[in-house]
Amino acid sequence: YQTIEDLIKSTNLEKAQQTIESNLRNSPKDANLYYYMGIVHLVKMNADDAIEQFEKAIELKDDDYRFYENLGDAYGLKAQTSNMFSAMFVIGDMRESWEKAIELRPDLVSSRVRLATYYFMAPSVAGGDDEKALKLADEVIELEPAKGYALKGRYYQQKEEFGKAEQQFLSSLKIDSTNGNVLNLLGYLYLKQKKYDDALKSFNHYVTLYPNEANPY
C-alpha cells in the first residue's frame, strides 16, 4: 500500500493505477486496492469511476470510515460537475456517506468539516441548513478547537457577519498562530471590510511564517 500511496502523492497516477491493477489480479477481494483505485480516479476528476471503486471497496469491507468519506467526496465532485437538476440526485448520497464516516469514527473531524461546509454553502433548496452547520462547527471545536473556530469563522464570513467571523478566526489563531490558511482567510476578511492595515498585517505574518511559499505573497 505504501508504494501506491507514494505514487498517488507524487501524482504518478498512471503508474499507481497499473500497480493497483497488477495487485488486483492476485488479490481481487482486497478492499483497500479498490479504495486506492477510487482515490486515483478522484484525483483524475473521474467522479463516476471513483464512485464505482469506492462502492466496490465498501461491498468487501463496510466498516472503514475512509471508504465512506471519499465516496462522499466523489459524490460531491459529481454534484459540482453536473447541472443543477442532476446534482440534486447525488447530494443526498454525498451527505449520507459523510454521515456514515462519522458514525464509524465518532471523533472524525474531516467529514464534519465537509458536512458543515456543505450546509452553510448550499442554498436551502439544495439542503443548506445553518442550524446543522453551526452544530457541526461546535462539534469540531470540541474535537479540534483551532479547526472548529476557523470553520465557524468561514460560516460567519459566508453570512457576511464579519465581526463574528473575525472573532472566530482570531480564536483559532490564538490556539495556532502558524496556520497560514486562517491568516489568509483573516486577511481577505479585512480586505472586504477595507481594513487595509489589518489585512497587510495578517498577510505579512503569513509571509514571515512561510517565505518559501507563493500563496502568502
**What distance in Å separates the CA atoms of residue 190 and residue 184, rounded to the nearest whole number?**
10
pLDDT band, very low/low/confident/very high, at 8 (cuts 50, 70, 90): very high
Residues in the chain: 217
Q: How far apart are CA 203 and CA 178, in angstroms?
A: 12
- What is the per-residue pLDDT across 66-88, written as a single tens digit (0 to 9) for each? 999 999 999 999 988 877 667 77
Region for 45 from its dihedrals, namely left if φ exceeds 0, alpha if ψ lies in -120 to 50, beta otherwise: left
* Rounded mean pLDDT, 135-153: 97
**Lookup result for grid cell 463574528:** 164
* pLDDT value for 83: 74
Question: Across the chain, what does the average pLDDT equal?
Answer: 95
Contacts of 51 (CB under 8 A, 6+ apart): 38, 71, 74, 75, 78
Q: Which residue has the cell 453536473?
A: 82
Enumerate the H helices of 81-129 as residue ranges: 84-104, 110-121
Rounded Cα distance between 143 and 54, Å, is: 27
The model's pTM is 0.89
Q: What pLDDT sits at residue 82?
A: 76
